[in-house]
Structure 1
Amino acid sequence: MTTAASGSWPLGVFPGSSAAAPRPAAASLDDGGPARILMVSARFFPLAGGVETHVYETARRLAARGLRVDLLTTDTTGALPARDHLDGVSIIRVPAWPRGSDVRFAPRIYDVIAAGRWDIVHVQGYHTFVAPIAMDAARRAGLPFVLTFHSGGHSSPLRRAVRGAQRLALRPLVNGAARLIGVSRYEADFFSRTMGVARHRFHVVPNGGELPRPAVGRTRRSGDRLIVSIGRLERYKGHHRAIEAMPHILSRLPGARLRVLGEGPYERPLRRLVARLGLADAVTIGGIPSGDRRAMADLLASADLVVLFSDYEAHPVAVMEALALGRKIVVSEAAGLAEIVAEGRARGAPPACRAEERARLMVEMMEEGPIPEAVALPTWEDCVDSLLSIYRDALGRERDATRAAGV
């Protein structure tokens, strides 16, 4: 596998993967030998993001426990291999269109699922054309399927406007799922309410947050403060709010610096904002090469404050990673982020607050004494334990239904 930034990856090797080794292989999900799991995700490495990280961290651990795991994903470029392997997971890529959009229309998803022989299909993410195609294919093939919503915001007013209609259109397929998963209580409550699906059908399986152990020590001048704003460069992620707070922060902390950590289509407007506010010496914008988890750990570990002023997050992986490293966090008190605030793991900023107020909260958080100790958080192993339980339950109910039908 390759990325534009990091060059070739040896097959089966992912640079800088989480330090915690996967647990030994577990027993099969039933008495019929190793279970065959198909995960379906619209995007995967070398593209970076929270869902991609979730899929990678869970799929490789399931494979390490003795399950056969295949990953079906899409490619809008035509440049990635149709077949690949990564840490025990077989990867199947099919074309998707249009190239410059995230809707990911990929009709061959249906063909692959219909022709395959899996015990269970796990659809990761609901917001592209991949999800309904995969759910319909699994239903018609008689395969039980699980859906994890992995909901997120969007910068397009049109896309936000049609989300309600999209949920209604998906409801018949969602009702056919063997199990439904939210990555937070907020997400499970939200989709139960807006799709009219009974709440008891949802399981909550939070994201993990491990990163490789960061390098020891850092070399910055006394008085310097590093703030990291995390997330893909989309308007709804709120990086502009962190940038707008910087003039007020600099008036109190002249040594403060902001790193906007991410890549995406909103980079040019953010750079124009930096130039307009005269912050070229205080703000840098750029991502970390896809898959370089150690570089991510080193950067987050060096931060005095990590912020995410997003309009919508269900349970952001990057925030969990920063928390696992004991970083101080300020987030918008909105959607699933409000759940993290309510748990006392982050400071909340009202979504509509002014730049001065946001800056005050950020400075107060940085000056509230020593960096906190890393807190106990869900791990990727916990996540996999929950998935195994869900798969076993779904397959058990499928067998019971088959016996009851006399098949």
Structure 2
Amino acid sequence: MMRILMLSARYLPFAGGTETHVSEVATRLVHKGHAVTVLTGNPDGLLPAAESRDGVQIVRLKTFPRGRDWCFAPGVFRAVAEGDWDLMHVQGYHTFLAPLAMAAASRNGLPFVVTFHSGGHSSRFRSSIRRFQHRMLAPLAARAAQLIGVSRFEADLFSHNMAIARDRFIVIPNGARLPEKSGRRPASPHDRPLIVSLGRLERYKGHHRALAAFNVLATKFPDMRLRILGEGPYEAKLRQQVAELGLGNRVEIGAIPPTDRSAMADLLSSAALVVLLSDYEAHPVAVMEALSVKAPVLTTDTSGFRELAEEGLVRSIPLNASPDFTAREMLAAMEAGPISVETSLPDWDDCTDRLLMVYRRVLSHPQPELRTGPALLGDLKHDDRC
């Protein structure tokens, strides 16, 4: 049995790709007989400081400033240092919790691995300093026993920006599994007129692009509807755009609780098309979930989406495509229908098994200097095939 500490800035009941990833792999690790503790933030101070969910122990720390996504938690250093762990997995890098945890692990001789889970940001300033942030984090990341990207794009990006050799990185993609729904057939704009736009309600997620294109389609298909699936600070702007376009009775905005997997499966299975017209995605969990229920997906031709398009999993359009062009591509994607039933997708069991391989390889090298880089390649090198 391994005693695994996972560090994630946010965790359930918060929704998001990283939160879903951590929950899915943590619960599977517990079911395989390992002890997992998730160390996370409590941004609004409203959640229990400690609880157990599905066998996963959750420890929530006070974060400062309250409610901010760039928070830090002074308690991280003590929690990592005083715990009885075999290994730590840092899930996500974008807040100050990650470097504090890496520093604590380094100081206490605790081996750790890092999965970056990178994302975009609606703030131009925050986006502009990402490379600087990567360089500042590089000395700590270089001490990791293994660096993991969720896509080749992400591994290449962080290798370049951190000036860390690419062979220090492996790729373990996000999984996807929703409750199965039987009897799904190829959809068309004529018989299944629902489009779902996925993602947290941030400007960079591109819901405003989906709305503009839907406005073009709405004049031709009076029964077509749009569901913007998410929550976040951009909601008021999106509702304003809906009102200005006169689409109030055709557009619904709202999230599904992240623990309600059946409701998510129901909605995505009923969609004629799922879109995510984002500025940046490394390997979006939401898109993988849509693909897992055989929904056709349209994305932008950027970042990690390109790998999915190359594999024939999604249809993509230029980031700066006009609403008319986007609308035409939406129709084309709906008419083309879902991916082949025979298409194999990574799932959370695959992801968990590959992480376990990493953990075991790390712990099999008692000397810290042998826990990194080529010493770990061996059996893991095949992970970069995805």
What TM-score do you get using the length of structure 1 for normalisation? 0.87
Distance between the aligned counterparts of 1:350 and 1:368, measured in 2?
19
> For residues 79-124 of structure 1, what are the alpha-carbon distances to aligned partners after superposition, in whole Å with 9 as ceiling and x for unaligned?
2111111111111111001123101210101110011111111000
> For residues 124-147 of structure 1, what are the alpha-carbon distances to aligned partners after superposition, in whole Å with 9 as ceiling and x for unaligned?
001111110110010001101100
Within a 5 Å distance, the mapping from 1:317-336 to structure 2 comes to 317-336=285-304
Given candidates 250, 253, 263, the residue that maps to 1:285 is 253
3-state SS of paired residue (2:344): coil
Tell me which residue corresponds to 1:405: none
Alignment CA distance shift 1:351-1:180 (3 Å): same
> For residues 14-37 of structure 1, what are the alpha-carbon distances to aligned partners after superposition, in whole Å with 9 as ceiling and x for unaligned?
xxxxxxxxxxxxxxxxxxxx1111
Deviation at 1:400, TM superposition (A): 7.4
Distance between the aligned counterparts of 1:202 and 1:46, measured in 2?
30
Mapped contact 2:102–2:140 kept (Cα < 8 A): yes
Tell me which residue corresponds to 1:314: 282
Deviation at 1:214, TM superposition (A): 3.4
Tell me which residue corresponds to 1:155: 122
Deviation at 1:158, TM superposition (A): 1.5
Mapped contact 1:325–1:374 kept (Cα < 8 A): no
Tell me which residue corresponds to 2:219: 251
Mapped contact 1:223–1:255 kept (Cα < 8 A): no
Tell me which residue corresponds to 2:347: 379
Deviation at 1:183, TM superposition (A): 0.4
Tell me which residue corresponds to 2:156: 189
Mapped contact 1:214–1:294 kept (Cα < 8 A): no
Alignment CA distance shift 1:309-1:141 (3 Å): same
Mapped contact 2:184–2:269 kept (Cα < 8 A): no
The share of aligned pairs that are identical, in percent, is 53
Distance between the aligned counterparts of 1:121 and 1:247, measured in 2?
48
Given candidates 60, 66, 84, the residue that maps to 1:99 is 66
Indicate whether 1:266 and 2:234 are aligned: yes
Equivalenced residue count is: 369
Distance between the aligned counterparts of 1:289 and 1:60, measured in 2?
18
Tell me which residue corresponds to 1:237: 205
Alignment CA distance shift 1:164-1:370 (3 Å): closer
Tell me which residue corresponds to 2:106: 139
Tell me which residue corresponds to 1:391: 359
Given candidates 302, 319, 341, the residue that maps to 1:351 is 319
Deviation at 1:250, TM superposition (A): 2.1
Given candidates 297, 308, 319, the residue that maps to 2:265 is 297
Alignment CA distance shift 1:51-1:208 (3 Å): same
What TM-score do you get using the length of structure 2 for normalisation? 0.92
Distance between the aligned counterparts of 1:126 and 1:205, measured in 2?
16
Contiguous gaps of at least 5 residues in structure 1: 1-33, 403-407
Deviation at 1:253, TM superposition (A): 2.4
Within a 5 Å distance, the mapping from 1:58-207 to structure 2 comes to 58-207=25-174
Distance between the aligned counterparts of 1:374 and 1:225, measured in 2?
25
3-state SS of paired residue (1:91): strand
Distance between the aligned counterparts of 2:25 and 2:174, measured in 1?
10
Given candidates 304, 319, 341, the residue that maps to 2:309 is 341
User: Match of 1:393, as an amino acid?
Assistant: R
Mapped contact 2:296–2:338 kept (Cα < 8 A): no
Given candidates 43, 46, 52, the residue that maps to 2:13 is 46
User: Match of 1:214, as an amino acid?
Assistant: K
Deviation at 1:279, TM superposition (A): 1.1
Alignment CA distance shift 1:399-1:68 (3 Å): farther
Tell me which residue corresponds to 2:381: none
Mapped contact 2:295–2:337 kept (Cα < 8 A): no
Distance between the aligned counterparts of 2:182 and 2:337, measured in 1?
23
> For residues 26-79 of structure 1, what are the alpha-carbon distances to aligned partners after superposition, in whole Å with 9 as ceiling and x for unaligned?
xxxxxxxx1111000000011011100000000111111111111111102222
* Higher deviation after alignment, 260-269 or 206-215: 206-215
User: Match of 2:57, as an amino acid?
Assistant: S
User: Match of 1:313, as an amino acid?
Assistant: E
Distance between the aligned counterparts of 1:254 and 1:245, measured in 2?
14
